C-alpha cells in the first residue's frame, strides 16, 4: 500500500505530465489565493526557498490568519500553549478533543498538521468558549501524582481536623 508521500508525488507527476509545471503551479497558486483568508494559514505550510514544504508552528499559523482583536489574542494564547505542548500535547489528544467536539477527525500525521485541522473547528467557537479553553487545564496532558498530592495537601491544611492532627 502506497504511503501518503508516494501517493502525493504520483498525483503531482500525473498533473505535471498532462499540463506542465508552470500551469500546475499557477493553478495551485490561484486555488490558495481564492480560498478564505484563514485557509492560507490553515494549509499549515510554507514553501521554503528550495520549494520543500515546511510545516508552520501553531503560533505562525495564527499570525498568518485573518484574525483581529481579542479573538486573535485568544487564538495566539492557545497556539502558544499548543507549541509548548501545554494544550493537547499529542496527536491522539487532538483527535480525542475533536471527537468530544462532535467531529470525526481524519488525516493527522503530526501535531503541526493536527493544529491545522484543529483550527478549522476552533474557529467556529464563540469567544466565551475560547476563553474557557485558554483558562482550563483539562486538555494539558496526562496527570501526575506529585502536583495532585500537593493540591490535596494544600486543601487539607484548611481542614480543622488536619490542623488538630498536626498539633498532636
Partner 1 sequence: MARAGGPVTVCVINLKGGVGKSTISALLARRGYTTRDLDVLAIDIDPQANLSQGLMHNEYRRFLAGKRPSIVEVFGGYIPPSITSSAPTPLITNSTFEVIAQTEARSLQLIPSRFDFSDNLLGAVRPDPRTLARFLSSNFQHKDLIIIDCAPTESILTTAAYHASGNVLVPVKPEYFATIGFPLLGQSLNNFRNQNRGNQISVAGVVVNNAFYDGGNDGGPEKAQAMKEIRDESKKNGWPIYKNEIPHSRGFPKLMRGDRSYQGNAQYFSIFADEFFRSVGL
Task: Report the candidate in 46, 78, 47, 48 with the shortest Cα–Cα distance to residue 62.
Answer: 78
Please select the residue that binds partner 1; options are 154, 164, 166, 168, rule is CB under 8 A: 154
- Touching partner 1, residues 101-120 (CB under 8 A): 101-102
Using rule CB under 8 A, residue 148 touches partner 1: yes
C-alpha separations of 161 from 47, 61, 150 in Å: 64, 52, 18
Using rule CB under 8 A, residue 152 touches partner 1: yes
Shortest CB 100 distance to partner 1, Å: 4
Shortest CB 21 distance to partner 1, Å: 42
Distance, CA of 13 to CA of 119 (rounded, Å):
30
Element (H, E) at 81: helix 69-83
Using rule CB under 8 A, residue 96 touches partner 1: yes
Distance, CA of 70 to CA of 93 (rounded, Å):
26
Using rule CB under 8 A, residue 52 touches partner 1: no
Q: Residue 54 in contact with residue 68, Cβ under 8 Å?
A: no
Using rule CB under 8 A, residue 123 touches partner 1: no
Distance, CA of 97 to CA of 104 (rounded, Å):
10
Using rule CB under 8 A, residue 141 touches partner 1: yes
Binding site for partner 1 (CB under 8 A): 90, 92-93, 95-96, 99-102, 136-138, 140-143, 147-148, 150-152, 154-156, 159, 161
Amino acid at each position: 500500500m502506497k504511503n501518503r508521500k508516494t501517493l502525493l508525488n504520483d498525483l503531482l507527476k500525473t498533473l505535471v505530465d498532462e499540463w506542465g509545471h508552470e500551469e500546475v503551479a499557477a493553478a495551485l497558486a490561484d486555488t490558495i489565493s481564492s480560498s478564505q483568508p484563514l485557509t492560507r494559514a490553515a494549509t499549515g505550510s510554507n514553501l521554503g526557498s528550495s520549494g520543500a514544504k515546511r510545516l508552520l508552528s501553531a503560533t505562525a499559523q495564527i499570525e498568518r490568519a485573518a484574525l483581529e482583536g481579542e479573538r486573535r489574542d485568544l487564538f495566539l494564547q492557545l497556539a502558544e500553549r499548543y507549541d509548548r505542548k501545554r494544550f493537547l500535547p499529542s496527536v491522539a489528544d487532538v483527535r480525542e478533543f475533536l471527537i468530544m467536539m462532535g467531529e470525526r477527525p481524519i488525516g493527522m500525521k503530526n501535531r503541526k498538521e493536527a493544529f491545522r485541522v484543529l483550527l478549522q473547528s476552533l474557529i467556529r467557537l464563540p469567544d466565551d468558549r475560547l476563553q474557557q479553553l485558554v483558562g482550563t487545564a483539562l486538555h494539558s496532558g496526562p496527570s501526575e501524582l506529585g502536583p495532585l498530592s500537593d493540591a490535596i495537601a494544600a486543601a487539607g491544611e484548611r481542614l480543622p481536623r488536619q490542623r488538630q492532627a498536626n498539633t498532636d
